Structure 1
């Protein structure tokens, strides 16, 4: 079978990406919570940001959390698929993925707090 290229490749890549986002939303409660948070913070970013750069930072860190959660969920799915017995490395992989999400959330809080601070607060 010939390798798909050009617009067809873009179409299929987009289709698979949407399928992955849908699966994460359906099967991963943490991803659901983070999407709900994004749905609150995205409109708030227009109110909080005073420049295009601030807005880009506020939205980017929120998207970063979603990206990290998708990667964490992928790690967990692969580890769970590999077996149900306890394995120290499998547990470590899951913990490392979770830690990445936690750092993403901390970065998000720092950026939002810094932008709000620089802008003199919310009111």
Structure 2
């Protein structure tokens, strides 16, 4: 049976999902907080459009992967409440995607911010 929802209802589901993850998932809160700090720093250091593009893409990527990771964890826990090695691997790999993106975001942040911070400090 196919369910068709209005566009407004679909957005409502998405917003509820976002509210839920913000309220319940510590790691998402941390990633969101770091992303907001990076945006504030970007304004303070007057990033150019290309730098903003890189910053927004990496912040978005990390947050998306955190959402996907949480979804995978929830699905695995639902279908496999008892320990199974394959379930563990699925959850570990999903978590690893966030880790890889987070490491990439640190590298991108360093490339974007360090030269500007060093230039500002050496006035």
- TM-score normalised by structure 2 residue count: 0.84
* Count of residues in correspondence between the two structures: 119
Q: Are residues 81 and 118 of structure 1, via their aligned partners in 2, closer, same or farther at CA, if it must alter by over 3 Å?
A: same
Candidates 54, 58, 79, aligned match of 2:55? 58
Residues 45 and 117, structure 2, Cα contact 8 Å, conserved in 1: no
Query: 1:2, 1:24 → 2: CA distance?
Result: 24
- TM-score normalised by structure 1 residue count: 0.84
Runs of 4+ in 1 over 2 A off after TM superposition: 1-4, 47-50, 116-122
CA RMSD after TM alignment: 2.0
Query: 1:29, 1:120 → 2: CA distance?
Result: 29
Q: Are residues 85 and 118 of structure 1, via their aligned partners in 2, closer, same or farther at CA, if it must alter by over 3 Å?
A: same
Q: Map 1:39-118 onto structure 2 (within 5 A).
A: 39-117=36-114
Deviations 1:15-72 (A, max 9, x none): 1111111111122111111112122112112223531110121122112111110000
Gaps of 5+ in 2: none
